[in-house]
Structure 1
Amino acid sequence: MYITVLQDNKETLGDLYNYKFKYFLSENDKDKVNEKPKLDIQVDIGNLPISISGSEANAVLEPKGHSSSSASQKSFKVTLDEKSGKWKGQKIINLSKSPYDMSRIRNKLAFDLFKTIPNMFSLRTQFFHLYIKDLSGSSKQFIDYGLFTQVEQPNETYIKNHGLAQQGYLYKAEFFEFNRDDERIKNVDDPSYNKIEFEKVLKIRGIEDHSLLIGMLDDVNNYSLNINDVIKKHFDRENYLTWLAVNILTGNWDTNSQNFLLFSPITAERWYFIPWDYDGAFGYESQPHEQELYAPWQTQPLSNYWGVKLHKRFISDSNNLKDLTQELEEVSKYMSEEKVKSLVSKYYSQTSSIIKTLPDLNFIPSTLENYEKEIKRLPSVIETNKKRFYENIDTPMPIFLGIPEVQGNKTVFKWEESYDLKGNDLFYNFSLSTDPDFKNVVFNKDSLKDMTITVENLAKGKYYWKVDIYNSKNKHQIAFDLYHIVSGKSYYGEKELIIN
């Protein structure tokens, strides 16, 4: 693919590279909504049905991605204009760099596997070798930008192209945990409806009428309703089970609040999960440069979903857990080690020569030796994650620590009750220290049955506290909480407390 950035742009390719997505905008920034640089370009894909002449633009280029927007190598979104026609039925061409994926093939591997799995949606993908000529800067020649993976845009065009519906409700999760969130999730006829606020939770890609979504969220958050009745009314159960099983087996842990879409045909009133972004799957967390960046519970398949209301309620039902286990075994047949190995070998032959040369060679997150090891490791990951699932069934679920209450010379600590999927007895070990490494413990109490403890006569100063959970089989769990220090180190399962 060849892209020419035209000379008369108000912004430059350099502006695009300086852009960084902001997750939580301040009050002063709320109207900016992560404004992205947009550049008029000429794009030549070889089989695009348009003849390019002179300085006429045929598309717009902008940065793509959230966390990846901070990477040195950027991902792009190309939007073809009306006179350009469509490329393979698509007006939007996503070019994902996957800068933190050492193999650079995880996204394509995932979506090609999904094509064969019943009750699972997939997206079309293709590798591209990209060249860019930047007439807005000093470059007058095409420069090699290396390997990219094109990933189909799931939007209204996607729904029509795949014969799913002529119209539908479609949302992309931005930070969405199936909470009611009635301050942001409102219908368009509500006088206080704010699309900017709404889209901080869910990006609207279909019909802008949220009554169906709100009805589903009301029921998910209504604990007087049986969760199985809620699932039957609002979701396609087989698709939901398959989506959960696929994410567990691929190890796509970053799917509890983002990296998925919700879709409902206008005639069905039933929600389906559509997958999105799998360059963080297939053992991503075990790459040499990524280790220690995850809390223990994040790589435990069931614990990872425990903080999401829908998944927590569903998994808590023993029959649902049994169904999920059966689905996991069935789906794993479509992602056998032999099948994955065959696809990885195919992709390696297509991409390795690009990755091993400039510019990509300079940006591999580790060494070439580790790159080769990573390629060989990928086929074994599915079985590793299946073992994690079965181990997690025997493990207590994570909790959230409460806010301590100071009552005179007493400090009362509270925490949530944990849950054991097999009904084993649970115990809590409480520890209080003056340092986050817990080398100087000033108080501890083990084998607590209650979710509270009172500590007396704490001197003024800074403290750190944690609760370790054990069941009667001596399986261990920590809290969801995180204490992060300025130097960058993270302490999982603990909170800071300041006594004045």
Structure 2
Amino acid sequence: MGATEKLPEYRLFIHPLDLNELRKDIWIDEPVSAKLTINGKKFEVDIAYRGSHIRDFPKKSYQISLYKPATYRNANVFHLNAEFKDPSLVRNKLSFDFFNDIGCLAPEARFVFLKVNGRNEGVYLELESVDEQFLTNRQLPSGSIFYAVDGDANFSLMSDLDNEVKKSLTIGYEQKCGTQEDIDHLHQMIIDINTIPRDNFDKEIVNYIHVDNYLRWLAGVVFTQNFDGFVHNYALYRNKESGLYEIIPWDYDATWGRDVNGEEMESDYLRITGFNTLTARILDCKTFRNEYKSLLTDIMSHQFTVDYLKPKIERMHATLRPYVLLDPYKKDSIDLFDNEPDYICTYIEERSAFIKREIELLN
């Protein structure tokens, strides 16, 4: 991104009656029809609010489904995220770019400026949907995709929400694509994650999990310090050719030193060994643990450094700044926005120092 880059302008027109319908109950997922204009090209779309707690924010996030024409930028569904609680607006994109840089699948993301019925709604992050088209765009084999929608997606027999035995082992997941057979396979995998004997775990888990991908994802969660990332905020993709699951990050605005409310999160808050059952069992295997240690060390030498990340952060900041001044929800906190690049760089330094100390304890 160049410092003088202009953001694409997205113009949404929603009929006032439909807009009233959308606003009547923010918790309903039923979309309304709208017209979207991008660079003079018109699209007929369905629009709905997206997210859980973020629907309560004054600046809404949206899911856009295209039906005439049916695709835009090789997608028929995409998301417009308000990034309302992130004072920098860049954490989600910075995270997904970082995951890509360390060799992990992640959605593409780019900033746009949104107008709704002629009114400035401000800076948004356009996020690629993790679906069949996501796989096609990367020339990946077809396969099942499950979204981890709550804390029960913890790879355990026990609920992370109430510490009771789960009524269903696939609770916590929402199937995006696939068959009943794929649901049954996920169910069996969770049983085996919890019951394979310790002596055989490293030999058998590789029949389910692409371990190198999992360790790279784990490192990404740990470096960005996404506290919810181990039991939420991810998608599972099972590659039909290899038969193995890969894991894809999602919703990474509460990262890089700030929590879900945009408040400071200490750089040593999140331990490097994670919180879910699968991570614990993988890191219990000496071979995988050593791979993880080497991976953390390598990333700290290359992608997770101020020298590497600061230019990216500053480019995004410079590109967004004139648009933040036009954002009715963000313009009054421009001073906080201007302090964020330094804040994030300080976090990188402090988090790196913490991880270096903790690696020594991974024996």
Q: Give the structure-1-normalised TM-score.
A: 0.63
CA drift of 1:47 comes to 6.2
User: 1:172 aligned to 2:147?
Assistant: yes
**3-state SS of the aligned residue for 2:321?**
helix
Unaligned runs of 5+ in 2: 1-9, 159-165
Name the counterpart of 2:4.
Answer: none
Distance in 1 (alpha carbons) for counterparts of 2:328 and 2:126: 18
**3-state SS of the aligned residue for 1:43?**
strand
User: 1:345 aligned to 2:314?
Assistant: yes
Does the 8 Å contact 1:128/1:150 carry over to 2? Answer: yes
* Identity across the alignment (%): 18
CA drift of 1:380 comes to 3.8
Name the counterpart of 1:221.
Answer: 194
User: 1:256 aligned to 2:230?
Assistant: yes
**3-state SS of the aligned residue for 1:341?**
helix
Does the 8 Å contact 1:253/1:301 carry over to 2? Answer: no
Distance in 2 (alpha carbons) for counterparts of 1:104 and 1:9: 29
Distance in 2 (alpha carbons) for counterparts of 1:75 and 1:286: 15
What is the 5 A alignment of 1:85-164? 85-118=70-103, 120-133=104-117, 142-164=118-140
Going by fraction, where is helix more abundant, 1 or 2? Answer: 2
Name the counterpart of 2:174.
Answer: 203
Distance in 2 (alpha carbons) for counterparts of 1:230 and 1:214: 16
Name the counterpart of 1:4.
Answer: 13
1:61 to 47, 65, 78: 47
2:34 to 41, 45, 51: 41
Distance in 2 (alpha carbons) for counterparts of 1:257 and 1:44: 37
Does the 8 Å contact 1:11/1:39 carry over to 2? Answer: no
Cα distance per residue 1:406-445 (max 9 Å; x no partner)? xxxxxxxxxxxxxxx65xxxxxxxxxxxxxxxxxxxxxxx
Q: Using a 3 Å threshold, how does the CA distance of structure 1 residues 286 and 162 change in structure 2: closer, same or farther?
A: closer
Does the 8 Å contact 1:76/1:94 carry over to 2? Answer: yes
Does the 8 Å contact 1:220/1:310 carry over to 2? Answer: yes
**3-state SS of the aligned residue for 1:42?**
strand
Cα distance per residue 1:242-281 (max 9 Å; x no partner)? 1111111121222021111111122221110111121111
User: 1:356 aligned to 2:325?
Assistant: yes
Residue type at the aligned position of 2:63 = K
**3-state SS of the aligned residue for 2:299?**
helix
Q: How much is the aligned-residue C-alpha RMSD, in angstroms?
A: 2.6
User: 1:324 aligned to 2:292?
Assistant: yes
Does the 8 Å contact 1:340/1:378 carry over to 2? Answer: no
Q: Give the structure-2-normalised TM-score.
A: 0.85
Distance in 2 (alpha carbons) for counterparts of 1:327 and 1:388: 16
Residue type at the aligned position of 1:41 = A
Name the counterpart of 1:374.
Answer: 340
Does the 8 Å contact 2:31/2:46 carry over to 1? Answer: yes
Residue type at the aligned position of 2:66 = L
CA drift of 1:13 comes to 4.2
**3-state SS of the aligned residue for 2:222?**
helix
Name the counterpart of 1:281.
Answer: 255
Name the counterpart of 2:6.
Answer: none
CA drift of 1:72 comes to 1.9
**Bigger Rg over Cα:** 1
CA drift of 1:223 comes to 4.7
Unaligned runs of 5+ in 1: 21-34, 53-57, 134-141, 187-197, 396-420, 423-500
Does the 8 Å contact 1:11/1:38 carry over to 2? Answer: no
**3-state SS of the aligned residue for 1:335?**
coil
